[in-house]
Amino acid sequence: MRIAMGVEYAGTGYAGWQEQRHTQSIQTLVEGALSRVADERVRVVCAGRTDAGVHGLGQVIHFDTSARRPTRGWCLGGTTHLPDDIALTWAREVPAQFDARRSALQRHYRYVILNRPVRPAWLNGRVAWARKPLDIRRMQAAAPHLLGEQDFSSFRAVGCQSRHAWREVTRAELHRQGDFLYLDVSANAFLHHMVRNIAGTLMAVGAGDRDPHWVAEVLAARDRTVGGFTAPAGGLYMVAVDYPAHFDLPVPPPPPRFA
């Protein structure tokens, strides 16, 4: 039997999603919790591996098991064995051809920036902080350069292991509410640090350090060293993953807002 599940987590205290030998990861904890419910070893596949400090609202996983449990049992039983900052939000029995990673059509991320002179306190680790005023109109003028299928080599981490850097970005939008700026990026798939590098590049434009057209020049260079800085992990949220309608998966929660 194959089960799909939704996972929600605050990534602040973890070394990222992927299992690691010498430090605690979200995958390790989720597998341990589900293994206790199943009374057998469970291995999960996720829609997208998030980095250390990155948060997940709409992460999706699947796993195979011979255990028979009600969907409520998978969610509540699994969450009971997890830390307070990780929860299993829904469960569905799915066909064997469903794959949390390969069946995904699009992935959606939100990057949250607190733009004010004073650093965050209770939102520390939940948002990025930009002390210098950011002009959202300049950032909005730059964002359309990111749309379409392009080579995003200039926005991938040096250690990115993807075979190629071609990705199709379908959404790159910004809006402001009070002191908070929200960057929403959607694509068929993402490279390592891609959204954080996009955020850092757009923040340089918003701060007036670069012109909006500079984003197009960065893309054309296909060279990570010419782009903006890698924005902090704490501002990044994996908010949703799209799948074909016939899998009938739940609608993900709305992306985070702080104002």
Report pLDDT digits (tens) over 82-135.
999 999 999 999 999 999 999 999 999 999 999 999 999 999 999 999 999 999
Predicted pLDDT at 129:
98
- The per-residue pLDDT of the chain, averaged, comes to 95
DSSP, residue by residue, 112-170: EEEESSSPPSTTBTTBEEE-S---HHHHHHHGGGG-EEEE-GGGS-TT---S--EEEEE
- Measured CA to CA in angstroms, residue 239 lies from 9, 122, 254 at distances of 11, 21, 7
Look up residue 151 and give its amino acid. Answer: D
Bridge-based pairing state of the strands 106-115 and 180-187: antiparallel
Catalytic residue among 51, 84, 135, 179: 51
Q: What is the mean pLDDT of residues 227-242?
A: 96
Res 52 pLDDT > 90? yes
- CATH class of this structure's domain 106-238: alpha beta
Q: Give the pTM.
A: 0.95
Confidence of residue 218 (pLDDT cuts 50, 70, 90): very high
Name the pairing type of β-strands 55-64 and 45-46. Answer: antiparallel
Domain 2-103 is in which class? alpha beta
d(CA 186, CA 124): 25
- The pLDDT of residue 259 is 78
Q: In the structure, what pLDDT confidence band is assigned to residue 46 with cuts at 50, 70 and 90?
A: very high
Task: Evaluate if residue 22 carries a pLDDT over 80.
Answer: no
Instruction: Check residue 196 and give its pLDDT.
Output: 97
Give catalytic status of residue 51 as yes or no.
yes
Residue 20 confidence class, pLDDT cut points 50, 70, 90: confident
CATH 3.30.70.580 residue ranges for the chain: 2-103
pLDDT tens-place string over residues 148-182: 999 999 999 887 777 888 999 999 999 999 999 99
Task: Tell me where in the chain the CATH 3.30.70.660 domain(s) lie.
Answer: 106-238
- Residue entry with tokens 């430090």: 23
Angle (CA) 185 167 64, round 5°: 85
Give the distance, in angstroms, between the CA of residue 48 and the centroid of all CA atoms in the same chain.
Answer: 7
Please count the CA atoms within 13 angstroms of the CA of 157 that sit on its side-chain side: 14
